[in-house]
Structure 1
Amino acid sequence: MSTNLDTWATWREIHQQPAVWRAWGEALDVTGLRSWIVAQNADEVWFCGAGTSAYIGDIIAAAVPGTRSVPSTDLVANPRAFLSGNRPLVVSFGRSGNSTESLGTLDALDALAPDASRLHITCNPDGALATRTSPGPLKVINLPEVTHDEGFAMTSSFSTMLLTALALFDEACDVPARFNALADQLESLLPQFGTPRPDRAVYVGSGPLAFAAREAALKVMELTAGQTPALWDSSLGFRHGPKSFVRDTTSITVFSSPQTPTNAYDTDLVTELRAQFPDARVTNIGPKGDIVIDMPFGTAWAAPLCIASSQIDGVQWAADLGLNVDNPFTGQGTLSRVVSGVKLHGVD
């Protein structure tokens, strides 16, 4: 395994998550924000973002009734397909708040749904999501600046935006106590994560954990600059073709749910994969897994704990490859920390 990983900002940002969650759970004005949300009387809640920020919405929408994931990449490409007279509360996530799709989403709302209520959750107090005004109701949540990750890969930014939205849109709870419990668990889990670099990686799960698997796969691909191909799917969907991706040198991680009958399907898949691919590394992460993660608050709340395993692996594998962990694409000019190269086309 790699050594001297503390020299990388990404490694430090992964390990700062428990402390960030504890402090933010105390500081977040949950009561005031939930009251504002209710007052908007929206027909539907949309979660918008691109890439990792979109996966936040996928995870929450799979768990919280009355919410919908609308990736900004979809909305910007075809705004009239979404903005057709409905009254959504549009929740936008953004680490920098300056991505082209974030700006395009705001432009589309201004043009086609100016009265729609907006809630911006961002890590950058100087970004467009934090500073741009709206013709309709607007609330901005600026996360602690320490979550504005320096590294290419979103880590503490992702998890803190996700937990913030769950605190506001899932059933009401004692937020400081819940954030503290999650922080305690992550602190105990981080030393348990870390595996040898495989040729390929697969992440699967069910419900919200299927979308956690999507973010996990993206993390290891990003951090290893595509040198570790990674696939994600649902536990039941994986057999329908995607399983052909597996080789003897593949690492397969199953995020297992505590719910019935979901857990039975997750467990059946683990058993099947171990029998069919005895030389592959199959790891079950969940309440009764090889790495135990308790999920008393539901699988959406446990998603950041599961995904932390891929954050650790991604950094270690990138370092093993000799990459710049904080910018794996140095010198390539193909990907950047804030997506560039997208030309916005106006809404007629």
Structure 2
Amino acid sequence: MKAKWISLVALMIAAVSVLSACGGSSSSNNGQASGGAAQSQELVVTSFGGTYDEAFAKYVIEPFEAANPGVKVTLAPYTGVTKLAQGGGEKIDIVQLDDFDLIEAGNQGLLSELAQDQFSNWSNLYPQAILNGNESKTYGLVNVFGAWGIAYNPDKAEAPTSWNDLWNPEVKGKVALMSQWIPDILLTAKAVGADYENMDPVWTAFKELTPSVAQYYSSFSAPESLFGTGAVTMAAWFDGRATAMKEAGKSVEFVIPEEGGVLIRSGLGILKDSANQELAAKLIDFTLTAEAQQGFAQDLFYGPTNKTVELDAELQQKVVYGEEGLANLLAPEWNELLPKREEWLTKWTEATTR
């Protein structure tokens, strides 16, 4: 009798063990921990810092995490192409970079090629929001549009109409331009009638302009303090930052010169070595939704890249919006320009050295 009891207990224990094993396998397949809680999955996304990160957290991270229980999105500091190429992207899933850097990173084999069927919002994007590298491979999708033109203090200068107005004697010593910035070079080339095969007139123009330049700045936020202290009257700058300053009650206006402006495109790409390819694509797709892009337009004055986004009439005038807003903006052919960048920046440095 005792032996039968022991055998019965053993059979019960074995049965419980089998059920537990089966139950554990089922929980794992459904992304559940043994206690029934969702297993966490982290996405690491580089960003630009400051108010951009605040908007990204508000309009992307928080609603994305709410819609995807168990997912945590972590923002990491800005990481450029050079650092990525040196192995600095080991723990990164998604990079946020300017258009030319996304294309260069893709061409260097650092990013995954993106396919339309990964993104529900792809078909709603303006063509300028799809960043293709060599062989027409897509490496990045743009979530915000901006414009590069001229900001000025209307209390101290007439509204500029041409990029050449940066050379006017009236603003000598009161001009700011970005340091080693291709958009400034491209607009100068248009202003002086240069072409990419003969850029000598551009370097001559920068030599002539340099005595008027109070600062060749390296931080995109620098003109804010330069305008604030009165150090500059006119600057090459972003529309969004200038508009934000104006909205804060400062004497700053922004114009696109008659030569046109440069379309500024910030976007996202997936690191080739990321273990979270599918989830990373899902997050990028979320940044392309109308709701997220409306938020960026409202808070940061960045234009939407999704054609279905509707903004009120007042906000439309403050951001790059629709086909009309894109019409006067140059979207550089970076695959053509990137091979020239090193030479151009060397020539620029020689021309602007005081």
Q: TM-score, normalised by structure 1?
A: 0.32
Q: TM-score, normalised by structure 2?
A: 0.32
